[in-house]
A = this chain, B = another copy of it.
């Protein structure tokens, strides 16, 4: 099957430009995208990190912010460095996970990324997510549902699946059995997905 799985984490910086461009790029190639939110926290903790590596390794962090800024200029994306990093994407990820088959999901994801990386809004705040749902004409009640045991379990199992696929960072694209890590690998991932037999 020639679908592309897009594994993203709402707190992840390089997931932002990937989320903003994947749908238009993939549709130009005729490749359907499966949006797969997950959490990096549990994966980082297993590597012994209790924070983003961009905070743990300052030289790497300084470089990343500058690099992201350049990418946003290139992609013509708004960018404002978040005053908190990384932001906790747990609630947004539960919501996105519960809404995985909804047509409005991609736009929801993009608006959450814009809130975090272009508007410096606190995406861990339920009111911020509620305003995004409302802007998409979706009921605020989805937020309560995202806190249900089923929704929590769903994100946990999706994060376990990421781990078992060998995912260690975000964004990661999966085409067939191949992993492609990083916004800059999206084109290679799409080429790979195209080379696979259609569904």
Contact A60 B188, CB 8 Å, known A66-B179, A67-B181: no
Contacts of A180 in B (CB 8 A): 67
For the complex, is A107 an interface residue (Cβ under 8 Å from B)? no
Interface bracket on A: 20 to 34
- Contact, CB under 8 Å: A168 / B47: no
Contacts of A70 in B (CB 8 A): 188
Contacts of A67 in B (CB 8 A): 180-181, 185
Encode A43-58 as 1/0 by CB contact (under 8 A) with B: 0000100000000010
Copies of this chain? 2
Measured in the bound complex, the distance between the Cα atoms of B169 and A180 in whole Å is 20
- Contact, CB under 8 Å: B184 / A60: no
Partner of A179, one of B63, B168, B181: B63
For the complex, is A167 an interface residue (Cβ under 8 Å from B)? yes
Besides the known contacts A60-B168, A66-B178, A66-B179, 13 further A-B residue pairs in the complex with CB atoms under 8 A apart: A47-B57, A57-B168, A59-B168, A60-B169, A62-B166, A63-B166, A63-B168, A63-B179, A63-B181, A67-B180, A67-B181, A184-B184, A184-B185
Question: 7 interchain pairs (CB within 8 A)?
Answer: A59-B166, A59-B168, A60-B168, A60-B169, A63-B168, A63-B179, A67-B181
What is A's interface to B at a CB cutoff of 8 Å?
47, 57, 59-60, 62-63, 66-67, 70, 166-169, 178-181, 184-185, 188
